[in-house]
């Protein structure tokens, strides 16, 4: 598990814990979409259906992989 700090919506600083594999995939998706990691996490946070951001990120990554 790796803990990283992110800024959501340019104003809310928080930490997320993700396995290295998920973190690598999250960074890859951000790069492909020409977004910063903070911007991608902000988008995920805005659309999440779960209260836990780390879980929402994992589900987002899984859905991205399944859809491509």
Per-residue pLDDT at 68: 79
pLDDT level of residue 50 (50, 70, 90 thresholds): confident
For 10-49, write each residue's pLDDT tens digit. Answer: 898 999 999 999 999 999 999 999 999 999 999 999 999 8
Where do we find the tokens 């930490």?
A: 15
Burial string for 15-42 (b: 16+ CB within 10 Å, else e) reads ebebeeebbebbeebbeeeeeebbbbbb
User: What is the predicted pLDDT for the residue at 32?
Assistant: 95
Question: Residue 59 — very low, low, confident or very high, per pLDDT cuts 50/70/90?
Answer: very high
Beta carbons of 66 and 25 less than 8 angstroms apart:
no
| Rounded (5°) CA angle 8-22-18 | 60
> What pLDDT score does 51 carry?
80
**Residues pairing with 45 in the sheet:** none
| Pair 42, 60: CB distance under 8 Å | no
């Amino acid at each position: 598990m790796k803990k990283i700090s992110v800024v959501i919506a340019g104003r809310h600083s928080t930490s997320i814990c993700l396995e290295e594999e998920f973190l690598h995939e999250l960074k890859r998706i951000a790069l492909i979409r020409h977004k910063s990691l903070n911007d991608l996490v902000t988008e995920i946070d805005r659309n999440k259906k779960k209260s836990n951001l780390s879980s929402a990120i994992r589900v987002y990554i899984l859905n991205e992989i399944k859809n491509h």
